[in-house]
Structure 1
Amino acid sequence: MADLKTDRKIKVVFSAYDWAGNISGVSTWITELLPRLQNFGIESHVDILAWDSTGFLSETLRQADISCECTVLTGDTELRARGVAERVLRHRPDVYVANNVLPGLLMSGLLGRLGIPAVGVLHAHEPFYEAVLERFVRGRPQDRLAALVSVSDDLQRLAMNLNTDRNLHLCQIPCGVSVPAEDPARSVERPLRILYAGRFTDYQKRISDVADAMRLVVRQIPGTRGVLVGDGCDAARVREILRSELADGLVELTGALTPEQTRTKMCDADIFLLLSDFEGLPVALLEAMGRGLIPIVCRIRSGVSELVEDGRTGLVVDDRAQGVVNAVRTLAGDIAMRRTLSGNARSRVIQSFSSEVCTQKWVSLIRMLADSRTQLNADFALPRHLDLAEPHSAHHPEDTRVAGSQISAGSQNWWHRLMGQKALRRLKRTIWK
């Protein structure tokens, strides 16, 4: 690939969510990407919308001296969207990456007409992102994005099938990860360790099934151990399922760890377990495979299939219980197979999903948009009433026009799945204060 370095400085504003206890793959991706963009003359500022208080993303960006500003989400959808637009216009960037932040996506069309091309990002195959396609790709012309990035081939195909705007740039760019120069050494003499890293929630992640699979494995296969990294609203359920295994030292619950601490745990494990209902291209899976862990995953429609080829770069199961046990038993009894799959998994990530490869794709997109944008209208003032895209039911509760109020019964259920009860109580106090 051609050298993309240049003396010209380009300024980009990214939008992102943050919250107390945030350990999301999206946040990890941002903290990895932005310092690398600096090497190509791209200066970044992150406009953070916090659901309750700041968390991992804000702290990590400040430690890395990346410019950021945090705003607690209050008010209705129009107020939030207006606030995002005002802050973006204050920075006068060459490009705006709305990412998956709904208030930013709602202002993308207007910002584009003012001379700031906007980029959305599809991170997963779920209703929220399908609604993003409906509203900001094939919706009203005045609401459309300048570019849309999909993290997987599956999402890219979905976007291409719905797009009718020749001026909208569709790109497939995975969330690249850093890969160690050398594969961590693993002794075959120690117990075989199976690792899960992610949110402890049954919604999407099926954490109860993960815990139950770990329980079956360590009880049925001698010389195996389980490690679960993370936290979330269903953590108590996990502890209950694994009560006996925790007492016997067969399973470890680490609680929430920083990305660096999680990577250290990965280097001491052999197998990575992911049993989600849906995914995009999970950052945790990429990082695990890049460190030589053998993935065991479910057969779901997602970008996971781009990484895990059954019998070559990992194992694919159709059963979240005994199917996982059988897969681990196969690996436990075949050291040569483990070494082959581990090496293949690591090679797959290095070849197509490393930070270096993915950063260059982002640089190319940002440069293209910056070079083709119109002159920024410096005298423009936002209208008193914003003509926003129609609300979509899949954007509840982020869009208060759908919910009818900031915190309704439905939104409580949704946020319980994502954040847990304590974080939701803090969110209520923030909004209703």
Structure 2
Amino acid sequence: MHTSSARDAARIRVCHIVHSGKVGGVEVAAALLQAEQHPSINYQVAVLAQLPDGEPQAIKAPDCVGHGLNNPLSVLPVLKWLHRNAPDIVVASLWRSVLVGMVAKLINPKRKFVIFLHNTQYKNVLDRAAHRLGFRLADGIFCDAPATRQAMTAELPLETGQIHVVPLVARGGRSRHTPEAEQGPVGAVAGGEIRCVFWGRLAKQKRLDRAVHLLAELNNRATVPVRLDLLGPDEGELDEMLRLARSLGVEQQLHWHGAADWGRIRDVASGASFFIQLSDFEGLGMAAVEAMQLGLVPVVTPVGQIAEFTSDGVNALHFDSAAPVAERMLSVVGEPPMWERMSAAAVAEWSGQEDLSTAFETVCRQFLANQQANAANHVIRGAVS
């Protein structure tokens, strides 16, 4: 007879450390894992900083909260939380979390420490330094896409089984917590208006200046109104973006909604035809995945993993410069059957994909099995030598 406590003991205990609960790709993935709770995983998440009341949050109920993003004392409640939960794996996403994970590893070297990578480039010197130090202590690395693995780990001297890709297929697709009625395309060729949408951080990496220039080119060429809706927290780019929009005469066509939860994003996206993401670099490009799952036609720079899952003219439009892409967008919306074919191809790209919690459970189990195998091999080699 299997008791509840026996089942709990058999579950893999994972404690995941992230920066905060804000709406972003890393945080959305953590929130999904927390909500879905795979039967074989006891997943908990800590945030180093609690967001102010009233600000939209992806992680609404963290299991542990630190004292602030840049407060060294944040390590104390996280260490207590780890000691109390005795996880099989400690996962750290983003550089400050990696530093906390390193302290935990030094205190308890037997506990497995994994760094989760979510991009194909470091953002700054501190980001790079923290990760390069962390790699020296980490037992393994999780990556959000093959492109991230190739860009960030190719030169690391790690053993077989230490690096794993977790396919972060996210909110737009099928999930245990998404009713069947909410599945499928929500985008449409809006009658009398060309609507575009972006969601994500308003950060330099996202190159929203390109999006504004594209909006201006559309506005100059279209015979109907055009509109670009932006949903996400401002990370220092909003003022410059608004100045550029004013100088190009499209300030009235640009609408920023601030940080938004998934319900709000779906509502705004439901009237759009295109998703715009013209980043300099990405890892997986989670927002582009979500947009395709919703049936929007993505207009994207083919960077990171986006280059692999989008096909120019088939399920997406690849961006090189604003004027020719604006012409192509007008051609697509000018022929609704063409837009519908591209929308269907975008949805089909992600159909049948397993949910995030199942993918994460599979990778965690593979990682632990490989750790055990590598440890056994070391013992054998030591005995032989």
Q: TM-score, normalised by structure 1?
A: 0.71
SS of the residue corresponding to residue 339 of structure 2 reads helix
- Which one of 153, 157, 161 corresponds to residue 164 of structure 1? 157
Q: How far is the alpha carbon of 1:341 from its aligned partner? A: 1.1
Cα distance in 2 for partners of 1:295, 1:17 equals: 29
Q: Which deviations, in whole Å up to 9, do the C-alpha atoms of 1:346-393 show, x marking residues without a partner?
A: 111224xx5x3432221022234556778xxxxxxxxxxxxxxxxxxx
Equivalent residue number for residue 103 of structure 1: 99
SS of the residue corresponding to residue 230 of structure 2 reads strand
Cα distance change, pair 87–39 in 1 and its aligned pair in 2 (3 A): closer
- Amino acid of the structure 1 residue aligned with 2:291: A
Cα distance in 2 for partners of 1:183, 1:363 equals: 28
CA contact (8 A) 1:153 1:306 kept: no
Are 1:47 and 2:46 an aligned pair? Answer: yes
Cα distance change, pair 44–328 in 1 and its aligned pair in 2 (3 A): same
Cα distance in 2 for partners of 1:29, 1:175 equals: 7
Percent identity, aligned pairs only, is 20
- Which one of 103, 116, 119 corresponds to residue 121 of structure 1? 116
CA contact (8 A) 1:124 1:155 kept: yes
Q: TM-score, normalised by structure 2?
A: 0.79
SS of the residue corresponding to residue 61 of structure 1 reads coil
- Amino acid of the structure 1 residue aligned with 2:23: I
Equivalent residue number for residue 68 of structure 2: 72
Equivalent residue number for residue 144 of structure 2: 151
How does 1:108-257 map onto structure 2 within 5 Å?
A: 109-110=105-106, 113-114=109-110, 116-128=111-123, 134-137=132-135, 139=136, 143=137, 145-159=138-152, 161-166=154-159, 169-178=162-171, 179=173, 180-184=182-186, 186=188, 189-201=191-203, 203-223=204-224, 224-232=226-234, 233-243=236-246, 244-247=249-252, 250-257=253-260
Cα distance in 2 for partners of 1:168, 1:371 equals: 9
SS of the residue corresponding to residue 175 of structure 1 reads coil
Equivalent residue number for residue 316 of structure 2: 314
- Amino acid of the structure 1 residue aligned with 2:88: D
Which consecutive unaligned segments of at least 5 residues does structure 2 have? 1-5, 174-181, 373-385
Q: How far is the alpha carbon of 1:56 from its aligned partner? A: 5.9
- Which one of 364, 367, 371 corresponds to residue 366 of structure 1? 364
- Amino acid of the structure 2 residue aligned with 1:266: A
CA contact (8 A) 1:27 1:57 kept: no
Q: How far is the alpha carbon of 1:217 from its aligned partner? A: 1.1
Which consecutive unaligned segments of at least 5 residues does structure 1 have? 1-5, 375-433
Cα distance change, pair 111–120 in 1 and its aligned pair in 2 (3 A): farther
Equivalent residue number for residue 268 of structure 2: 265
- Amino acid of the structure 1 residue aligned with 2:32: E
Cα distance in 2 for partners of 1:222, 1:336 equals: 19
Q: Which deviations, in whole Å up to 9, do the C-alpha atoms of 1:398-433 show, x marking residues without a partner?
A: xxxxxxxxxxxxxxxxxxxxxxxxxxxxxxxxxxxx
Q: How far is the alpha carbon of 1:26 from its aligned partner? A: 1.0
CA contact (8 A) 2:30 2:59 kept: no
Cα RMSD after superposing both structures: 3.0
Aligned length: 347
